[in-house]
Structure 1
Amino acid sequence: MDPDPQTRRWAARDMLDHIHSSSVLVERLLQEKDVSVREVILTTLTCLGDTTAVRGLIDCLRSEDAALRNEAVSAMRLLPDVVAPVMQDLLHDADSDVRIFAVNILEALRHPRVEQWLCEVAEFDSEVNVCATAVDLLGEVGTPAALDALRKLKDRFAEEPYIQFAADLAISRIMHGMNGH
């Protein structure tokens, strides 16, 4: 690749005109160190929005580079229709960090199943940190449909003060929402 970041940025922009360029962009994204070039690559991948782009962004979630992981989360939030089919896999990934990132993606993912996915995490995920991330979000987006999952979460993590606090807060917010407050 060209040593000049500006040339690489233009090349990444131009890839938008090539519908099958996601794999090349993903490969470059995983190597690119210049932040401005990465931003353009991510923007182009988001515009392309195909399954290859999403699979590449998922690979970024496993990167040691924290900035790249966060950039991938932000990009995936913009692709609800392409991310939704892989969300179940992400929420059941063997790596608890990937599951936390998946919940973080849900925070801004405008999809009708967000609450259902969060409830499943609250009910069944064995990692307290993943559940803590999910319960925080349920406190913001939850409806009465989430109450059962939140109560089950409290039972499963009865010895975890933060889970108790966060679940109680989420339940309270949902209940107040039901009463019109």
Structure 2
Amino acid sequence: MGLLSADNHTPRPSSQPDGGPDAPNLARPVTDLADPNPERRWEAALSARGEPTGVDAVLARLPVEPDLAVRQALFDALAATGGPVAARGLVDLLRSEDAHLRNEAIAALAELPDDVPDLIDTMLTADDPDVRIFTVNVLRDLRHPQTTAWLTRVIAEDTHPNVVGTALDHALELADPAMAPAALAARTRFADDPYVAFVCGLLLDRIEGSAS
């Protein structure tokens, strides 16, 4: 079975909506997130940065916001504010049918190293394998001390070859010797999957090479 490629998120632009003012009004109330004018919504999103009381409104606006610049500002506000409510809301967006929302949710979650770890266990056991794949992508960019342990767990235990294949891809960057038993187990577990077998071989070779 071939690996389903995960979404690739793109860097967040800092541009404002077309026709935006040179000097944004940084005191817009959160209620302006629903304003018909995208410039005012963008300014309201900027005003929401670092404001925990605005997190619910920002999360509610994201799925219905049509302007990409405003969306970016909303995601930036969540990443700048953080907290468990923001993190849980971003995790919920991993189930969205909108690829842009998923990609930017992955990027924003990776900027919340203090809030995301408490959710990783739940994310890695989600029923939807796509959510588990996106979680592995969050781990790639989270740069957390537990990243190796989490990836090793996925490789050793996950039942979906695409999830394991994604974890193996990221494990290649680490090539931690502790991953070797998990890679051997995955190669046995998915003996009929040529991609998993191939990446397991690459990982084991890289681990062996780093030890010599």
Aligned partners of 2:55, 2:37: CA distance in 1, in Å? Answer: 21
- Write the mapping of 1:63-74 to structure 2, written as runs, cut at 5 A: 63-74=96-107
1:100 pairs, out of 109, 126, 133, with: 133
CA RMSD in angstroms, aligned pairs only: 1.0
Residue 175 of structure 1 pairs with residue 177 of structure 2: no
Percent of pairs with identical residues: 40
Residue 39 of structure 1 pairs with residue 92 of structure 2: no
Instruction: Report deviation, 1:17.
Output: 5.2
TM-score under structure 2 normalisation?
Answer: 0.82
Aligned partners of 1:52, 1:41: CA distance in 2, in Å? Answer: 14
8 Å contact from structure 1 (residues 9, 37) kept in 2: yes
Give secondary structure in 2 for the equivalent of 1:53: helix
Instruction: Report deviation, 1:18.
Output: 2.9
| Counterpart in the other structure of 1:78 | 111
8 Å contact from structure 1 (residues 57, 76) kept in 2: yes
Q: C-alpha deviations, 1:9-64, integer Å up to 9, x for none?
A: 10011122533211111001121111000100000100101111111111110111
| Counterpart in the other structure of 2:16 | none
Gaps of 5+ in 1: none
Aligned partners of 1:178, 1:81: CA distance in 2, in Å? Answer: 33
8 Å contact from structure 1 (residues 61, 101) kept in 2: yes
Q: C-alpha deviations, 1:61-89, integer Å up to 9, x for none?
A: 01110111001001111111211110111
TM-score under structure 1 normalisation?
Answer: 0.96
8 Å contact from structure 1 (residues 150, 167) kept in 2: yes
Aligned partners of 1:63, 1:102: CA distance in 2, in Å? Answer: 14
Aligned partners of 2:154, 2:51: CA distance in 1, in Å? Answer: 38
| Counterpart in the other structure of 1:58 | 91
8 Å contact from structure 2 (residues 50, 81) kept in 1: no
Instruction: Report deviation, 1:110.
Output: 1.2
Aligned partners of 2:210, 2:53: CA distance in 1, in Å? Answer: 46
Aligned partners of 1:67, 1:18: CA distance in 2, in Å? Answer: 24
Q: Which amino acid aligns with 2:112?
A: L
Structure 1 stretches of 4+ with a deviation exceeding 2 A read 16-19
More helix by share: 1
Relative contact order (alpha carbons < 8 A, sep ≥ 6): 1 or 2 greater? 2
